[in-house]
Structure 1
Amino acid sequence: MLSEHNKVSVNIEDEMRKSYMDYAMSVIIGRALPDVRDGLKPVHRRVLFAMSELGNEWNKSYKKSARVVGDVIGKYHPHGDTAAYDTIVRMAQNFSLRYPLVDGQGNFGSVDGDSAAAMRYTEVRMSRLAGELLTDIDKETVEFGPNYDDSLREPLVLPCKFPNLLVNGSEGIAVGMATKIPPHNLGEVIDALIAVINDPSLPFEDLLGLIKGPDFPTAGFILGTEAIREAYSTGRGIVLMRARALVEKDRRTNREAIVVNEIPYQVNKARLIEKIADLVKEKKIEGISDLRDESDREGMRIVIELKKDSIPQVILNQLYKMTQMQTSFGIIMLAIVSGQPRVLTLREVLDRFLEHRKEIVTRRCIFELKKAEARAHILEGLKIALENLDEVIQIIKTSANAAEAKERLIARFSFSDIQAQSILEMRLHRLTGLEREKIIAEYNEILALIKRLKEILASEVEILQIIKGELLDIRERYADARRTEIIPKTGDLTLEDLIVEEDMVVTVSHSGYIKRNAVSLYRAQRRGGKGKTGMRPKEEDFVERLFIASTHSYILVFTDLGKVYWLKVHEIPQGGRASRGKAIVNLLQLSTGENVTTVLPVKEFVEGKYIITATQNGTVKKTELMSYANPRAGGIIALTIDEGDRLISARLTDGSMDILLASRNGKSIRFPETDARPMGRTARGVRGMMLEEDNHLIGMEVVSEVTSATLVTVTENGYGKRTNLDEYRVQSRGGKGIITIKTSERNGKVVDIKLVDEDSDLMFITDRGKVLRTGVAALSIIGRNTQGVRLMVLEPEERIVAVAKLAEKDEDDGDTEAEEESFEGGVEETEE
């Protein structure tokens, strides 16, 4: 019991403050935060050192985890076995550490959150890379301190030949502070270190070019570079991670499926799948028909099967927003520096590592120098003894005992005690000529080594070159390719970043149905074959457009109200070869009464390309393709249209083509597109053709300089003709034009014009729903100023209302007799 004079009065606030700070620093330094030099917390360091002391190295046999844990907690770590085993488990998980430090055998958990097997069931040894953390630890390179009971000594830091703090990262929550350092690519970090060695004033921008960003073991994407820049320049930042997904065609169900094969770092796969299932069950995400985990030892594979007509982009955006398929990683580069916690920039971390390595190399050289000098001292004595061999032997022979022999040798040759003892312990076989030469050679080598070590210690440049060589060796043996892909843009990831680019066959039917299929679905055929049907639509419908476009290509959709909408090819539903597809109007946000007039495929928006538009009132406008490069969901204005007017056609040109317009009253005009100067997107345009009051344009075609096509003109009463383009002379824009067909009482008004090739097929549609298909080859070429021939026999009061050029041949094509019969009533007229 304390006496009165031993009691000391203490302010409770001061005592609480002191005790709390002592506790906090104990947690910070002794448990929660890594050392900037080796990137390890004390428990990691103790585990690796215990495994090294146990001989549990990468090229030795595995040992029971329980054995290692026993050594760790018995010798060095004053905590429970759970803390030690959990550390070993994490260092063995290839989804937790970018470069695992423990080679485990057995169940060490999974990315699904499964726990590891008990330590009595698993076996471990150090990984080969972990051995590089302990290299030269026996050469007095690092300080040792007492263990928890002062019975053993343990290293306070490991020599660490590579920057483990950056390479494997670290996480920890201390008192009032936390650290969260992401893993990085070993090759990139070493390249940065070498660059810093070569140029100590290396600019920050050059450093960013070498270390592009974190490299997570589970791969995936990092969106944006600004957060990376901020984290590396200030020590704090938040990076956005996203899963990697591909859109595939499910062979089992023949539907599109989203396949996730890489997820963000530290995301639990099983919980992610459960969350997606819950969202589908709660109807927060619609369009998913099935969800499967097909992961195996080959890799991760989460299959999200979509319902028919579901758009993958919409589903993906919902998944990114509502699940951990997109999440963030908050970077806090906090580490222990000289016994104190500090937030470090990227350059400071690299500099601290280099300082550590310089100290390690220096201490190693000092150790090796001491050892070499000690050996040189002994060899020097042996050399003197060999030069005076007979006298040395005589002294030893005439001495009463070893002590007397040592004293006499020291007195005679001024040997040190160690030299004299080495001479006495030398075996007789070392006196042979060959062995004597070996001693002299070893002595000369030791002297050269001593000289070299002194040169290294005297020059920081030499030390840095040694560090550089060691880093290059580590990179050559252990570096691998980057796993996490960094996307510079910070906005929403488009589907192009998630799907493989491939060519697709896109078909558009006359009634506005669109679909896409892989090119491989259309098998190669011999010339003259019947072809393959790309669509089996309803009876009165047919394929009007067919083109090949990449999944990353654009489809520009123009409407009669003068607006243009965007579709990406990958957004178009993929259906079977004989399927109908989906109505274009259901893929666009069209206004009431707005109708699609033209569909144009565009590979990419580039300079030197133009869009020519024509309205029924005779206005044409030429606009640079680049003006349409910024899509909006609700479309944009393609041109300003006056009230009562409407857009009838749009064509893509190269700036050097001719424009051919045709009117309802049988007139046409051909003029070079250079007559129409490029205008802004919202401009009205210029007059393309002067029209009478009761007249309007019904069609537009663009003609290249070299073409073998002919022009087919069709009238409402079922008559028409095919004419060479040479007969349509080039005129100035804005004229009344020339006759393309007589619009007599027999013919009626013109319905449409089409540029056709010899093997083209045309489809005529009447106001009573009748459809006739005919081959262009059966229609002879006649002059421009004629009435033409009968193309289709019509009922009284029946009229042709539309003409379309077929994009492909049907499999049952070949009924030429029926096609020829459609021309029997036609009588070729002569020119007037």
Structure 2
Amino acid sequence: MSDLIDDPNMMPEATSEPLRRAIGDRYLTYALSTIMHRALPDARDGLKPVHRRILYAMRELRLASTGGFRKSAKISGDVMGNYHPHGDAAIYDAMARLAQDFAVRYPLVDGQGNFGNIDGDNPAASRYTEARMTPFAEALLDGLAEDAVDYRDNYDGTLREPVVLPAAFPNLLANGSSGIAVGMATNIPPHNIAELIDACIHLIKTPDARDDTLLNYIPGPDFPTGGVIVEPPESIAQAYRTGRGAFRLRCKWEVEDMGRGQWQIVVTEIPYQVQKSKLIERIAELIQTRKIPVLADVRDESTDDVRLILEPRSKNVDPEVLMGLMYRNSDLELRFSLNMNVLVDGVTPRVCSLKEVLRAFLDFRQEVLLRRSQHRMEKIDHRLEVLEGLIVAFLNLDRVIDIIRYDEEPKPALMREDWGRTFTRATSEADYVPPAPTDEEGLSDVQAEAILNMRLRSLRRLEEMELKRERDALMEERAGLEDLLDDVSLQWAAVADQLREVKKTFGKDHPIGARRTQFAEAGKIEDVPLEAMIDREPITVVCSQMGWIRALTGHIDLGRELKFKDGDAPRFMFHAETTDRILVFGSNGRFYTLSAANLPGGRGMGEPLRLMVDLPNEAGIVDLLIHKPGRKLLVASSAGDGFVVPEDEIVAQTRSGKQVLNLREPARAQVCRPVTGDHVACVGENRKVLVFALDELPELTRGKGVRLQKYKDGGLSDATTFTLSEGLSWLDPAGRTRTETDLTEWRAKRASSGRMAPRGFPRDNRFT
């Protein structure tokens, strides 16, 4: 090698071209290779090259559907070595998918061993599994021996492989296809063979049929895993008309009565290409995070058939409501996209409509019919030539025996002989007269060879009669083929007859021929209030100073002593119901929402509230209260800024909560009080109290607010609302309620400094 490098005459000639052109040309070559030889299926047989080569290699190995199995490693090895110079793992994966009845509507490979399952488990290694073809694969290959399609050299020129398979049924739509090329992709769902053939026959009878008319025969996809399509018919028609669209596919389920009013939902069919194990993991996560409070448990009781159990938390839950939530939050409903981007005539990628795809298949079937008919005529002509020679031999049997017995070169002698004259049988070699050249036409090379290869047992009268009957039958068949090749209407009638035979074989009477996917109206999935999904029961919410929260069953005495962790003490304790939503106001100005039904039970110490919502460690809990629709809250910061916010606007739908009070360091949220009167009272850290009218505060959904009280130093301690005519109340140091009705001294405009608190005002500067 070093000698070649040192020799300047052996170095490749250097070329110079712009980098942009060099990269563009090479990338275009790669893109075309990916599109034509890897990612997009052929519209004629619906196969990609790897699948076509797998089936052809299995045919060469004589792995018929009624024969024995061979190791998958042998099959993938032959495919790789003879036709497909890529990794054997990729070839085996492609072959394994063709054997999976949950992935392919009409499996083309009959697998023996572990070829994976609907849970998403991988197939066993190729050395452990065996395979052979199915009748569907044999239907795709039928006609290869009759010159039905063109052949080409394999990758190294040592063998020949078919460019496309004859395909007795529209496999592109029957089994679907998916792939990603360079700059384009394809995704075609599987369909029912019987419906496809009915549409093809209609298209033969009515070539100018519209796409919408074809939907009378093909209502939609037919997935191997069943399910229910809930896409509107108008949307389905538009998708098939344009070649692009999507189908909403749901699981199939039923309600199973458990007795005594109890019930459970049984899912018997899941959407196509959904891995059952991952689906169950997702549902379990929904239960754990309490995103679907009405769902208590999920169980997998599947054997050969799918059987998923969804157990409701309460028998009062509406099954339709529960399934509506499951559709929205899990893969029990999905959208399967349609993108019929295929190779037309194996060369041009194009997004085709339903009619265009069926038309391409039918035109191909007509071409296959013509080629097979022409091939059959050639075979008939050859056989007729042989039969004519054999009949001549029977009519002149003695002369033929003499030539074969006495002539040194019997074949040329048979071809030179004038078979129109009368012969006398030779009794010895001396009496034998060799044939002389004649102007009359003798036997052809093919006829002479056939006579020489004829067995002695054929020299009986019955054989001569059978040859004449065979000749007459072949002549009649040839006349029929000539008529077929000359008449287009006869050709389409023959194509239709062939399709009917396929339908008879693989239609509704076949074990997997019946339609699996059903159709239904989707119905509107409405937002269901929490109260409608949860049993209404009394509870007592308890939250400690360290933020551990729990819910005790029933309304207990709020003065009752409870156990807390060492160093912890009670802070919030109030009566609620399981249907309530709990609002948490953090010192970071955010509101968080909890479902009372999801709070941990009261047998232990509870759980940290910070684990239930995304409350930062540096933020504290300002207030904890029950959400009451229509109510308004007064929120304020330690800097003395605040406003009124409608409570309906602060309910958060996510763990991260909703920012309501905007803060600037070092201020923090300080006050959250329900609005109950017509005036506001606030007290600062300087113990000055200010009272002003509530209508001086704006009503916002988010913001910094306006100044409540003016401070030279310090900030806001507390604020509340009250009715001026009823007076302002607080607890004095002795724990007695004191009410001040004459507040003239402390009344002023908002943002004033206020006056010192009245005698007996609490030392902690809090109104309650």
Does the pair score TM above 0.5? yes
Query: SS in structure 2 opposite 1:239?
Result: strand
Partner deviation per Cα, 1:538-569 (whole Å, 9 max, x = no partner):
xxxxxxxxxxxxxxxxxxxxxxxxxxxxxxxx
Out of 353, 360, 363, the position equivalent to 1:355 is 363
The residue type paired with residue 186 of structure 2 is T
- Verify: 1:455 aligned to 2:463, yes or no: no
Deviation at 1:307, TM superposition (A): 2.2
- CA–CA distance in structure 2, aligned partners of residues 402 and 111 of structure 1: 69
The residue type paired with residue 424 of structure 1 is L
Out of 172, 194, 199, the position equivalent to 2:179 is 172
Deviation at 1:99, TM superposition (A): 0.8
Deviation at 1:121, TM superposition (A): 1.3
Counterparts in 2 of 1:90 and 1:3: CA distance versus 1, 3 Å: closer
Query: SS in structure 1 opposite 2:257?
Result: strand
2:134 alignment counterpart: 127
Counterparts in 2 of 1:447 and 1:203: CA distance versus 1, 3 Å: same
Q: Is the 8 A contact 2:212 2:237 kept in 1?
A: no
Counterparts in 2 of 1:193 and 1:395: CA distance versus 1, 3 Å: same
1:401 alignment counterpart: 409
The residue type paired with residue 345 of structure 1 is S
- CA–CA distance in structure 1, aligned partners of residues 300 and 81 of structure 2: 43
2:330 alignment counterpart: 323
Counterparts in 2 of 1:300 and 1:469: CA distance versus 1, 3 Å: farther
Out of 151, 163, 173, the position equivalent to 2:158 is 151
Partner deviation per Cα, 1:653-680 (whole Å, 9 max, x = no partner):
xxxxxxxxxxxxxxxxxxxxxxxxxxxx
Out of 371, 374, 379, the position equivalent to 2:379 is 371
Partner deviation per Cα, 1:674-707 (whole Å, 9 max, x = no partner):
xxxxxxxxxxxxxxxxxxxxxxxxxxxxxxxxxx
Partner deviation per Cα, 1:549-591 (whole Å, 9 max, x = no partner):
xxxxxxxxxxxxxxxxxxxxxxxxxxxxxxxxxxxxxxxxxx9
Q: Is the 8 A contact 2:146 2:375 kept in 1?
A: yes
Deviation at 1:419, TM superposition (A): 1.4
Query: SS in structure 1 opposite 2:280?
Result: helix
Deviation at 1:200, TM superposition (A): 1.4
Query: SS in structure 1 opposite 2:245?
Result: strand
Q: Is the 8 A contact 1:291 1:305 kept in 2?
A: no
* TM alignment of 1:632-651, pairs within 5 A: none
Q: Is the 8 A contact 2:403 2:410 kept in 1?
A: no
The residue type paired with residue 519 of structure 2 is I
- Verify: 1:302 aligned to 2:309, yes or no: yes
* TM-score, normalised via structure 1 length: 0.57
2:267 alignment counterpart: 260
- CA–CA distance in structure 1, aligned partners of residues 320 and 9 of structure 2: 77
Q: Is the 8 A contact 1:34 1:41 kept in 2?
A: yes
The residue type paired with residue 48 of structure 1 is L
Out of 509, 516, 527, the position equivalent to 1:483 is 516
Query: SS in structure 2 opposite 1:138?
Result: helix
1:269 alignment counterpart: 276
Counterparts in 2 of 1:263 and 1:9: CA distance versus 1, 3 Å: same
- CA–CA distance in structure 2, aligned partners of residues 88 and 304 of structure 1: 39
Partner deviation per Cα, 1:594-640 (whole Å, 9 max, x = no partner):
xxxxxxxxxxxxxxxxxxxxxxxxxxxxxxxxxxxxxxxxxxxxxxx
1:341 alignment counterpart: 349
2:582 alignment counterpart: none
Q: Is the 8 A contact 1:261 1:302 kept in 2?
A: no
2:573 alignment counterpart: none
Q: Is the 8 A contact 1:255 1:305 kept in 2?
A: no
Report runs of 4+ in structure 1 exceeding 6 Å deviation: 2-5
Q: Is the 8 A contact 1:256 1:306 kept in 2?
A: no
Counterparts in 2 of 1:325 and 1:214: CA distance versus 1, 3 Å: same
- CA–CA distance in structure 2, aligned partners of residues 313 and 440 of structure 1: 75
- CA–CA distance in structure 2, aligned partners of residues 279 and 299 of structure 1: 21
Counterparts in 2 of 1:415 and 1:178: CA distance versus 1, 3 Å: same
* TM alignment of 1:64-463, pairs within 5 A: 64-223=71-230, 224-251=232-259, 255-338=262-345, 339-409=347-417, 411=437, 413-463=441-491
* TM alignment of 1:738-757, pairs within 5 A: none
- CA–CA distance in structure 2, aligned partners of residues 491 and 305 of structure 1: 21
Deviation at 1:206, TM superposition (A): 2.0
1:817 alignment counterpart: none
Give percent identity, aligned residues only: 43
The residue type paired with residue 485 of structure 1 is Q
1:40 alignment counterpart: 47
Query: SS in structure 1 opposite 2:220?
Result: coil
Q: Is the 8 A contact 1:96 1:217 kept in 2?
A: yes
Q: Is the 8 A contact 1:182 1:214 kept in 2?
A: yes
- CA–CA distance in structure 1, aligned partners of residues 130 and 451 of structure 2: 49
Deviation at 1:421, TM superposition (A): 2.1
Query: SS in structure 2 opposite 1:180?
Result: strand
- CA–CA distance in structure 1, aligned partners of residues 54 and 204 of structure 2: 32
Partner deviation per Cα, 1:305-362 (whole Å, 9 max, x = no partner):
4424222222211111111111101100011113111110000000000011111111
The residue type paired with residue 482 of structure 1 is R
Q: Is the 8 A contact 1:29 1:336 kept in 2?
A: yes
1:26 alignment counterpart: 33
1:473 alignment counterpart: 501
Deviation at 1:132, TM superposition (A): 0.3
- CA–CA distance in structure 1, aligned partners of residues 182 and 17 of structure 2: 25
Counterparts in 2 of 1:298 and 1:278: CA distance versus 1, 3 Å: closer
* TM alignment of 1:646-657, pairs within 5 A: none
The residue type paired with residue 225 of structure 2 is T
- CA–CA distance in structure 1, aligned partners of residues 68 and 401 of structure 2: 50
Query: SS in structure 1 opposite 2:216?
Result: helix
- CA–CA distance in structure 1, aligned partners of residues 130 and 266 of structure 2: 35
* TM alignment of 1:678-697, pairs within 5 A: none
Q: Is the 8 A contact 1:244 1:261 kept in 2?
A: yes
- CA–CA distance in structure 2, aligned partners of residues 361 and 374 of structure 1: 20
Deviation at 1:93, TM superposition (A): 0.7
Query: SS in structure 2 opposite 1:116?
Result: coil
Q: Is the 8 A contact 1:280 1:286 kept in 2?
A: yes
Q: Is the 8 A contact 1:102 1:125 kept in 2?
A: yes
Partner deviation per Cα, 1:108-145 (whole Å, 9 max, x = no partner):
11111111111111111111111100011111111111
The residue type paired with residue 487 of structure 2 is S
Deviation at 1:472, TM superposition (A): 1.0
- How many residues are aligned here? 495
* TM alignment of 1:496-575, pairs within 5 A: none
Counterparts in 2 of 1:393 and 1:266: CA distance versus 1, 3 Å: same
1:492 alignment counterpart: 524
| CA RMSD, 1 decimal | 2.2
Q: Is the 8 A contact 2:261 2:315 kept in 1?
A: no
* TM-score, normalised via structure 2 length: 0.62
Partner deviation per Cα, 1:698-724 (whole Å, 9 max, x = no partner):
xxxxxxxxxxxxxxxxxxxxxxxxxxx
- CA–CA distance in structure 1, aligned partners of residues 20 and 295 of structure 2: 61
Q: Is the 8 A contact 2:295 2:310 kept in 1?
A: no
Deviation at 1:228, TM superposition (A): 1.5
